[in-house]
């Protein structure tokens, strides 16, 4: 439900307070800049120069050891420059060696008046070690103060703020076709002002940078190191390219090829700061510009990419273990206007034989789009009966809840959730103390103040009451940037609601989307979305078949040169002792590159206040995460002992310990199907591994070919949901026969792999290893650093989709170093790539490349069924792919798939060698299912005898295929709770 798909009658910009409306001019917008310039970002306040070249940084005044064995450095400002704020004269630099791989450097004001992210939102990691035991080394200069971080293993300088090593740029460069004056970097002093912080570090030429999100980068997963401005200001927007959007994750990983070691060396940098911020990349430099807060920096030594991801996750919070059912297929759309509509969809899925695990509802279930109130077509009795029906069939249900709460229009209006929050005084405020009133889907709305200690009570009560009708299994949190459709508060102490001049937008869709499916010619195909009409291919019949431009390799820019596992947080959020008072809260002197314009555009204004006067200016980027913390606690209270499951749009660093994420309001194009891969890789790096896109696209009209390909691709993402907008073409997988068949095939493979998925997510929750990674995480080859058209699920499964329309072959990289080879998941045939690791494979419509790495042993489910429970009840299989020496190994982590926290877990270890496969269990969870089948690939002579635990097996239990060297043993009856051995001769 986003503005991008709707027609509005009126949106009236307002100032946020009880102040007169003043014209807002952002002096330094990028739009329309057709030629390069040397103008830096201009200050929005006349008293500040905007000239950082007059800043000369800080000198070291004194140093002392810290109580934990680190170092405290005291700094004094050399001269006031007032570039974009009031200079802070005295700073402290805290240097702490927290673990062997993590170094914490925090630069903060001595008075501690700058805002810092509370422990409640992101609990700081524990740990102290000594400098001599650390992989990293901190060094600094005194006059001016500059520092650099070195990794001891290879003496590589990972972060370097010495200005002599950092290039400056006095001319702007293009981003997405327009010159951006944000890319003018005239000098690199340390600047620390109340509303502007600046810090730069040198980067190597051609730096391989990943992260700095949430973003859809035009260059793909690897960022454009020559021309990037990444803005951190959460925003409700339909999946733009190279702009700020829903989430804030100021973390990056850099990867370098070490020619001497012949390996990739990686490290990570995380800036913990919740204020609005820009991070600029140009050749040889990264520069941070924040409009508040402190420089709270964490450095991770790596050296492997998986090491960096793991070290980051351990610092910000390990991912929550997910319920097994959440890995099933999910279905939703905006436009199921009744319980009967929704029930019909569930029935049609079952009749088509397409497994459906979780049915969702969008905002259609709400009366007038007001949260917690039922639409007349979702009558409580019928609604409850429908959800109960799903549960009786081992299926699950998730409804949506938007961020804003409906406001009372008059004295006769009744809404108990609003009234309860009003009674306990938990809604966000205007600076004059009145309730801040924006507008979202219900019309006028208020916004929860998550910092108020009574907000949790109101939230839990509301969901408890909802649960008495709708026994939901999870919750979908949307619009929580937070989104508001008007700029500013509609009311204040002098303007009551009945006298407001604000007109909420008309959010009723006026007509079906006017766009035809991508590449379609309306005279041939109309709105059908079919591949052919009357035997004629519809895609590109006007002679201009578009290609997937997201697959291009060139840059889009013109290049000129608390408790992490299980526990919930405290019942009330902690607040700083000092609440900052922001001088220019609406128009800060430095205008971050918020592509919506002013900071209040389409969201709650930065001058809105929270509990004890805390301003939204400092915590805007935390709003969604605060809601997710509250929702997590609510789910634990309503469903104790069960794994909470929510999917949220706006995220901040570390919230993977509480929530899953979907990639937002994408588009029904091949480009956005491809871009989903970079989104999944990005959030796996950010420690939020349960992630996926709106399959087949949300905005616009999909078509048969695109939906066919996308349903198969998303079956190999962690979160798998098909969802689209109101009045667009229906895209449920039963709409087209070819999509139905492709979906069933892919979902069956997904369900077979569920024990593998569960194992990878268990490892993520225990140590932070990401479940989905690019090839370079596993294979030491610098040529793989830009590949994001393929990906790995764990170390053993390689996915190669077709991402171009009208094509049935694709080039894929199949690493072959050190004797590695790959076998096809579907046929078990070996990929012939000994002469090259980049080969073409045939993938007709309805096929996706899925290959298993040699030397792997996978625990799988033996027989995929309609639901996850039925699949699990059917028992297990084991897939073994022997390497060239007849060896393979693997492991699996098995629990009940539902309990929270996980107190019972059994780890299985599998080793195949010399004609023998051994299984060894360790743990306290009793595995109910038996091993039914064992498949071994790479046995090139038919065995004369196969025995299990010394007992010879009957020939009738054994199948052999000499074409692929495959032995399949049926009816094994193996007990996974005990060790066993299978031998073949």
Beta bridge partner(s), residue 974: 931
In angstroms, how far is CA 13 from the centroid of its own chain? 31
- Distance, in Å, from the CA atom of 752 to the CA atom of 865, rounded to the nearest integer, reads 9
Residues in Cβ contact with 760 at an 8 Å cutoff, skipping those fewer than 6 apart: 769, 771, 793, 794
**Residue 665 catalytic?**
yes
Length of the chain, in residues: 985
DSSP-derived 3-state class of residue 568: coil
Which token pair is 698?
A: 């949300």
Task: Please state, as a whole number, how many other Cβ atoms lie within 10 Å of the Cβ of residue 944.
Answer: 7
**C-beta of residue 908 within 8 angstroms of C-beta of residue 891:** yes
Per-residue HEC secondary structure of 675-704 comes to: HHHHHHHHHHHCCCCCEECEECCCECCCCH
**C-beta of residue 196 within 8 angstroms of C-beta of residue 83:** yes
Residues in Cβ contact with 141 at an 8 Å cutoff, skipping those fewer than 6 apart: 147, 162
Which token pair is 605?
A: 């204004």
Strands 772-773 and 791-793: antiparallel
Question: Using a CB cutoff of 8 Å and minimum separation of 24, what contacts does 522-527 make?
Answer: 527/701, 527/729
Residues in Cβ contact with 797 at an 8 Å cutoff, skipping those fewer than 6 apart: 716, 753, 756, 825, 850, 851, 852, 853, 858
DSSP 749: H
- Distance, in Å, from the CA atom of 701 to the CA atom of 514, rounded to the nearest integer, reads 9
Strands 208-213 and 196-202: unpaired
Active-site residue (options: 402, 487, 586, 665): 665
Residues in Cβ contact with 982 at an 8 Å cutoff, skipping those fewer than 6 apart: 916, 917, 918, 934, 946, 947, 948, 969, 972
Closest CA to 591 of 42, 215, 22: 42
Which token pair is 595?
A: 């592509």
Q: Sheet of 475-478: strands edge to edge?
A: 691-692, 660-662, 646-648, 475-478, 396-402, 358-361, 330-331, 721-722, 694-695
In angstroms, how far is CA 234 from the centroid of its own chain? 13
Active-site residue (options: 214, 435, 478, 705): 478
**C-beta of residue 469 within 8 angstroms of C-beta of residue 432:** no
Active-site residue (options: 146, 254, 481, 628): 481
Residues in Cβ contact with 444 at an 8 Å cutoff, skipping those fewer than 6 apart: 406, 407, 409, 437, 438, 490, 497, 504
With b for 16 or more beta-carbon neighbours within 10 A and e for fewer, the 657-693 pattern comes to: bbbbbbbbbbbbbbbbbbbbbbbbbbbbbbbbbbbbb
DSSP of 750-805: HHHTHHHHHHHHHHHHHH---SEE-GGGTS--GGGTT--SSEEETTTEEEE---ST
**C-beta of residue 580 within 8 angstroms of C-beta of residue 115:** yes
Closest CA to 315 of 552, 597, 122: 122
**Residue 478 catalytic?**
yes
Closest CA to 357 of 332, 323, 331, 329: 329
Beta bridge partner(s), residue 210: 222, 253
Q: Give the residue carrying structure tokens 């980049």.
A: 838
- For 118, 270, 499, 611, 769, the CA distances from 252, given in Å and listed in that order, are 22, 7, 49, 33, 16
- Distance, in Å, from the CA atom of 228 to the CA atom of 245, rounded to the nearest integer, reads 15
Task: For residue 31, count CB atoms less than 10 angstroms from its CB and return exposed for 0-12, middle for 13-18, buried for 19 or more.
Answer: exposed
* Catalytically annotated residues: 478, 481, 665
């Amino acid at each position: 439900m986003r503005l991008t798909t709707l027609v509005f009658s009126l949106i009236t910009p307002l100032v946020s307070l009880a102040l007169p409306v003043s014209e807002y001019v952002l002096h330094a917008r990028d739009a329309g800049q057709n030629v390069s310039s040397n103008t830096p970002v201009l200050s929005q306040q006349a008293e500040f120069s905007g000239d950082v070249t007059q800043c000369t940084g800080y000198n070291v005044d004194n140093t002392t050891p810290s109580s934990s064995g680190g170092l405290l450095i005291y700094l004094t400002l050399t001269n006031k420059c007032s570039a974009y704020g009031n200079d802070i004269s005295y700073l402290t630099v805290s240097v702490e060696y927290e673990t062997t791989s993590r170094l914490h450097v925090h630069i903060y004001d001595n008075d501690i008046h700058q805002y810092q992210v509370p422990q409640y939102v992101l609990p700081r990691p524990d740990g102290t070690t000594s400098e001599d035991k650390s992989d990293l080394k901190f060094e600094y200069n005194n006059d001016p103060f500059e520092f650099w971080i070195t990794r001891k293993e290879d003496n590589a300088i990972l972060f370097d703020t010495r200005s002599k090593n950092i290039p400056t740029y006095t001319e702007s460069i293009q981003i997405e076709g327009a010159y951006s004056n944000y890319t003018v970097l005239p000098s690199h002093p340390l600047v620390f002002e109340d509303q502007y912080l600046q810090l730069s570090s040198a980067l190597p030429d051609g730096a391989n940078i990943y992260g700095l999100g949430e973003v859809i980068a035009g260059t793909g997963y690897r960022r454009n190191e020559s021309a990037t401005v990444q803005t951190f200001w959460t925003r409700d927007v339909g999946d733009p390219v190279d702009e700020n959007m829903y989430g804030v994750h100021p973390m990056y990983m850099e990867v370098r090829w070490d020619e001497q070691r012949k390996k990739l060396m990686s490290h990570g940098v995380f800036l913990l700061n919740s204020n609005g911020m820009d991070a600029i990349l140009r050749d040889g430099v990264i520069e941070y510009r924040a409009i508040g807060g402190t420089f709270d920096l964490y450095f991770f030594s790596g050296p492997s990419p998986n090491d960096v991801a793991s070290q980051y996750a351990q610092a910000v919070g390990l991912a929550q273990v997910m319920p097994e059912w959440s890995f099933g297929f999910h279905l939703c759309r905006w436009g199921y206007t009744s319980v009967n509509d929704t029930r019909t969809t569930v029935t049609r899925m079952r009749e088509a034989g397409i497994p459906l695990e979780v049915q969702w509802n969008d905002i259609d279930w709400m009366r007038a789009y007001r949260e917690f109130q039922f639409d007349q077509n979702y009558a409580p009795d019928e609604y409850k009966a429908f959800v109960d029906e799903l549960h009786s069939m081992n299926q699950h249900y998730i409804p949506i809840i938007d961020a804003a709460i409906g406001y009372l229009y008059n004295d006769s209006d009744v809404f108990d959730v609003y009234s309860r929050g009003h009674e306990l005084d938990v809604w966000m405020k205007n600076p004059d103390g009145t309730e801040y009133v924006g507008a979202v889907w219900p019309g006028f709305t208020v916004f929860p103040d998550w910092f108020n200690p009574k907000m949790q009570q109101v939230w839990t009560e509301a969901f408890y009451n909802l649960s008495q009708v709708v026994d939901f299994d999870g919750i979908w949190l949307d619009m929580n940037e937070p989104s508001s459709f008007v700029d500013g508060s509609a009311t204040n102490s002098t303007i009551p609601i009945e006298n407001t001049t604000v007109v909420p937008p008309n959010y009723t869709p006026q007509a079906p989307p006017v766009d035809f499916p991508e590449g379609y010619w309306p005279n041939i195909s109309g709105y059908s979305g079919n591949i052919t009409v009357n035997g004629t291919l519809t895609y590109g019949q006007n002679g201009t078949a578009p290609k997937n431009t997201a697959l291009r390799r060139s840059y889009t820019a013109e290049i000129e040169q608390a408790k992490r596992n299980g526990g919930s947080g405290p019942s009330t959020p902690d607040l700083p002792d000092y609440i900052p008072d922001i001088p220019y809260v609406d128009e800060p002197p430095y205008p971050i590159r918020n592509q919506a314009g002013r900071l209040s555009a389409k969201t709650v204004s930065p001058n809105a206040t929270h509990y004890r006067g805390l301003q939204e200016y400092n915590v805007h980027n935390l709003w969604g995460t605060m809601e997710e913390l509250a929702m997590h606690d609510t789910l634990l209270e309503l469903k104790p002992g069960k794994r909470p499951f929510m999917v949220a749009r706006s995220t901040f660093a570390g919230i993977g310990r509480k929530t899953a994420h979907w990639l937002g309001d994408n588009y029904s194009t091949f480009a956005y199907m491809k871009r989903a891969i970079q989104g999944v890789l990005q959030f796996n790096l950010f420690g939020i591994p349960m992630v996926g896109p709106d399959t087949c696209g949300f905005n616009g009209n999909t078509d048969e070919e695109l939906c066919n390909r996308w349903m198969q691709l998303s079956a190999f993402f962690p979160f798998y949901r098909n969802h689209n907008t109101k009045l667009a073409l229906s895209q449920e997988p039963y709409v087209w026969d070819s999509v139905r068949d492709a979906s069933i095939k892919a979902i069956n493979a997904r369900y077979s792999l569920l024990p593998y998925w569960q194992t990878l997510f268990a490892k993520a929750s225990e140590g932070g290893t990401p479940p989905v990674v690019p090839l370079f995480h596993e294979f030491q080859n610098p040529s793989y650093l830009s590949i994001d058209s393929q990906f790995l699920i764990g170390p053993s499964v390689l996915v190669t989709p077709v991402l171009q329309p009208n094509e049935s072959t694709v080039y894929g990289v199949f690493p072959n170093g050190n004797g590695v080879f790959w076998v096809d998941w579907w046929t078990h045939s070996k990929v012939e790539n000994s002469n090259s690791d980049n080969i073409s494979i045939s993938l007709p419509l309805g096929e996706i490349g899925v290959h298993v790495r040699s030397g792997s042993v996978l625990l799988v489910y033996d027989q995929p069924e309609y639901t996850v429970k039925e699949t699990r009840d059917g028992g297990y299989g084991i897939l073994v792919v022997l390497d060239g020496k007849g060896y393979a190994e693997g492991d699996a982590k098995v629990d009940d798939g539902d309990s929270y926290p996980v107190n019972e877990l059994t780890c299985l270890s599998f080793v195949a060698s010399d004609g023998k496969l051994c299984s060894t269990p360790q743990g306290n969870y009793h595995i109910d299912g038996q091993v039914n089948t064992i498949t071994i690939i790479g046995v090139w002579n038919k065995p004369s005898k196969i025995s299990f635990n010394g007992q010879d097996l009957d020939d009738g239990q054994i199948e052999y295929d000499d074409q692929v060297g495959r032995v399949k043993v049926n009816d094994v009856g193996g007990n996974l709770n005990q060790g066993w051995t299978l031998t073949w001769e």
